Amino acid sequence: MSQSKCIKISDDDKGYPLEMFCIPKHYENHLSHVMIPKGLIDDRTEKLAKDIKEKLSDEPLVCLCVLKGGYKFFADLVDHLKSMNNVQNDPIPLKVDFIRLRSYVDDKSTGDVEVIGGDALHHLEGKNVLIVEDIVDTGKTMQYLLRKLQVHNPKSINVVSLLVKRTPLSVGYKPDFAGFEIPNHFVIGYALDYNEYFRDLQHVCVINEAGKLKYAS
């Protein structure tokens, strides 16, 4: 499996000061810095949509959103794909579907994957599937999902993730398309959460210790 290039953020990157952006008042004391501003996410997502369009040509595609953290990236990516369909002569027929997985408590992966949605996955048989994920951390969750989907015999499966984390716990899995490769920090915002908080942040930010303590489960 070949992976597309992504933007790599170095381990010593300090990001952007919070005061340079609009941050909800109730979160200001619980963030370290902005890692990826919303505008940069938007531009990178548009390029990912173009890469996906080029690789997957004009065959019908089922875009499978991994909830909840992937919903914002999913919506923006699908919007870009639809916009391309409106102006190009070889549109990709699109369908959307959703699945929900859970593997985190606080900032730690439990190692177990709980499937909360996806009762109708048998409808993916014979289809070209694009899994849209917010972040690939250790890779165990995505490997589990891929095994679960393969049971239903899709025609093809590709994975696009906004973020890929560099972590010593990685099993080595890499998605087909990735937006950013990031350091081993716990990130929130742009629909990524910490115990269901911070999804309403526009930017991808790094939570600080005070935030972990305040919003612990």
Q: What is the pLDDT of residue 120?
A: 63
Tell me whether residue 22 is in a domain: no
pLDDT of 56 reads: 87
Mean pLDDT, the chain cut into blocks of 10 residues (217 residues total): 78 96 94 98 97 88 93 97 88 91 58 59 91 94 91 95 96 96 97 95 97 93
**Exposed/middle/buried for 190, CB within 10 Å: 0-12, 13-18, 19+?**
buried
Assess if residue 175 is contained within a domain.
yes
| Number of separate domains in the chain | 1
Q: What is the largest CA-CA distance in the chain?
A: 52
Q: What's the CATH code of the domain at 99?
A: 3.40.50.2020
Residue 201 lies in a domain: no
Q: Is residue 77 part of a domain?
A: yes
Contact call for residues 71 and 191 (beta carbons, < 8 A) = yes
In a domain, residue 63? The reply is: yes
Residue 160 lies in a domain: yes
Distance set, CA 103 to CA 63, 91, 108, 133 (Å): 22, 36, 8, 14
In a domain, 65, yes or no: yes
> Is residue 145 in a domain?
yes
Give the residue numbers marked as catalytic: 137
pLDDT for res 90: 83
91 is in which domain, residue-wise? 7-11+39-183
Amino acid code (one letter) for 5: K
